Chain A
Amino acid sequence: GAGVSQSPSNKVTEKGKDVELRCDPISGHTALYWYRQRLGQGLEFLIYFQGNSAPDKSGLPSDRFSAERTGESVSTLTIQRTQQEDSAVYLCASSEGSHNYGYTFGSGTRLTVV
């Protein structure tokens, strides 16, 4: 596609429920990144994919968070047993590959845990 697509754009969920956030990167972009942005704060790195492998998972905050990617396409970020502190905008970005040419970001998924 023309840009990075994320769905849903907004998600309200009850505490304790599981959620899945989806990211469709730009076609041909081998690298895919997930970031979290809490209200009024900067971007917090979560995980990075090169192809369908994840060389760096260091940013995942807890074992409730997981992510997978199918080939060089769609990625899913799953949050199990959501907590109120998980409320944030989850941003996905893709890039052409190594030696970053600059990310293209999606519009994000705004997650609210009530």
Chain B
Amino acid sequence: AQSVTQPDIHITVSEGASLELRCNYSYGATPYLFWYVQSPGQGLQLLLKYFSGDTLVQGIKGFEAEFKRSQSSFNLRKPSVHWSDAAEYFCAVETSYDKVIFGPGTSLSVIP
């Protein structure tokens, strides 16, 4: 069965530090992969997506993610975190019928 795991429930980083959020998926075919962010009191926003081609994809707000087929991973990175990045981050994979399955989320806290 298709699934998405995010091993880290909660991460705390200092402002200005680098960030990596982990995501692993289980899906038989070539996946379509996404990262979404949910800021407090707000809806979910698409950060970036991978369909094919270059395995390093750039998104909004300075985020990037790298698809590694051999590791079934799609980790999200940012070189320098800002306080406004504190939010819940969800990795997702598209399965059949254009249905997207979301991971459980990683909560990011940023220390000033």
Given A107-B43, A108-B43, are A102 and B49 neighbors across the interface (CB < 8 Å)?
yes
Q: In terms of DSSP, what is the predominant structure of the interface of chain B?
A: strand
Tell me, in angstroms, the Cα distance from A108 to B106 when the chains sit together: 20
Q: Is the CB of B99 within 8 A of A56?
A: yes
Q: Does A42 contact B (CB under 8 A)?
A: yes
Interface residue range, chain B: 20 to 34
Question: Which residues of chain A from 32 to 87 have a CB within 8 Å of any chain B CB?
Answer: 33, 35, 41-43, 45, 48, 50, 55-56
Interface residues of B (CB under 8 A from A): 32, 34, 36, 42-46, 49, 51, 90, 94, 96-105
Q: List 29 A-B contacts (CB under 8 A).
A: A31-B98, A33-B99, A33-B100, A41-B105, A42-B90, A42-B102, A42-B104, A43-B102, A45-B99, A45-B102, A48-B98, A50-B98, A56-B97, A56-B99, A91-B44, A93-B44, A97-B98, A99-B51, A99-B98, A100-B94, A100-B100, A102-B46, A102-B49, A103-B36, A104-B46, A105-B44, A105-B45, A106-B43, A107-B43
